Amino acid sequence: MAGVSVYVPESWVVTEVVPDQSAILQSYPEGKYIGGEPRELGDTKCDLGIRPPDIDVASQIQQLESDPTVTIVSEQEIVLQSGKPGTRIEVESMGRSISLIAEVNEMAVVLTCFGELAPFDEIAVTPSANE
């Protein structure tokens, strides 16, 4: 997608793909939730977004940091498997979520996961440019 690849655990499904813009990665079958209900223990949903070239990583981080509905629990720099840097931000806003914001293939990539957060770190280090 837009020259960006990311690891998806084998048992997960990818839904709502908008080519070169976004996709949803989830650990549960498509259609399990209609909307609004809390996820069952163990279920994870991740939103993957690829921003247009005119939107950079710094502006994505600043947007999250300045959102009055968000409380930042932690923010740290991580290194992706590609060797490139990324920022891991854990937030509280109507529930806990974790985001990765990184530049991949000269575009800002934002991966945000909700529900069971244990799989996040395994997935978050994998965004890379397609070869």
Q: Residue 122 pLDDT more than 90?
A: yes
The domains of the chain are located at 4-129
pLDDT tens-digit profile of 31-88?
A: 888 777 778 889 999 999 999 888 899 999 999 899 999 999 999 999 999 999 999 9
Higher pLDDT, 16 or 15: 15
**CB-based burial of residue 82 (10 Å sphere; 0-12 exposed, 13-18 middle, 19+ buried)?**
middle
Is residue 23 within 8 A of residue 48, CB to CB? The reply is yes
Hey, how many other C-beta atoms are within 10 angstroms of the C-beta on 59? Answer: 13
Whole-model pTM: value is 0.91
CATH class of 4-129: alpha beta
Output the average pLDDT for the chain: 90
